[in-house]
Amino acid sequence: MWTPTALASEARAAGGVVWRVVEHQYTASTRKIVARQSDQDILEDLLEESKPRVPAPCRHLDYLLYSPFRYRATHPGSRFRLPAPGDGVFYAAEHRVTAQAEFTYWRLRFFAASPDTPLPRQEERLTAFSAAYRTERAIDLTTSAFSSDRQAWTDPCDYSATQALALQARRAGVEMIRYESVRDPNRWANIALLGCASFDRPTPVSQQTWYLYLGQEEASWRRAQGTRAERARFDVGAFDLCPS
């Protein structure tokens, strides 16, 4: 068991630009159910009031950055977050293709949980965006200091060890955790920001539109108006889909 004191001793400065993929959200779906723009504005305000409050430390951020801190995690939680009200986690990847692999896994798992639901026969429009972060208190689970527990950190389904670590990390004042992606075939690194203070700027650095097609054997990504070089593909059978 890592103690807050031990984790604090391993904390170092870190910074960079990371990637995250989310559902495309630019077009408000409420416009088609009202006759006037003024009516849509009222409806959007009502919907906003019904959502959980944005935490005070996050209110200066763009919604793409603060959203992971706004909503509670559902059971069984996520790799560094318990399924309970409390602090959120912003998950991202050091490489865009890693973020795409992570998103692909969760899309496949969604359909695996409902085997009678067929895969969509059309591409899904998604947003890939990058964000800048900087912190003086980061720990890196890929370093030798944490290597003896690598099996626990990289368990594809059981998050109990990493959730316990995150709890101790917060007590130690750690703001970021760097860790190995278990979804990316390259095993490149992900990062988990434990709070909003680590964002180096309040808005995304860049945003891109991508299309994902889920086939029975292959998940294919292509960038809108991109070149052949701006594509990615993943073997569906290579993903170890954990039970829901």
Distance CA 165, CA 228 (A): 41
* Res. 33 pLDDT band, cuts 50 70 90: confident
Q: What is the largest CA-CA distance in the chain?
A: 61
Query: How many helices (DSSP H) and strands (DSSP E) are in the chain?
Result: 6, 8
Angstrom distances, CA of residue 108 to CA of 101, 117, 244: 11, 11, 12
pLDDT at residue number 244? 73
- Contact assessment for residue 177 and residue 10, using Cβ atoms and an 8 Å cutoff: no
pLDDT at residue number 27? 52
pLDDT at residue number 83? 85
The 10s digit of each residue's pLDDT in 134-160 is 999 999 999 999 999 999 999 999 999
Domain ranges of the chain: 4-238
Out of 19-23, 86-90, 118-122, give the one with best mean pLDDT. Answer: 19-23
- Contact assessment for residue 158 and residue 145, using Cβ atoms and an 8 Å cutoff: no
The per-residue pLDDT of the chain, averaged, comes to: 92
In the block, tokens 């190995």 appear at 180
Distance CA 76, CA 1 (A): 21
**pTM score, whole prediction:** 0.91
The 10s digit of each residue's pLDDT in 11-29 is 999 999 999 999 986 555 6
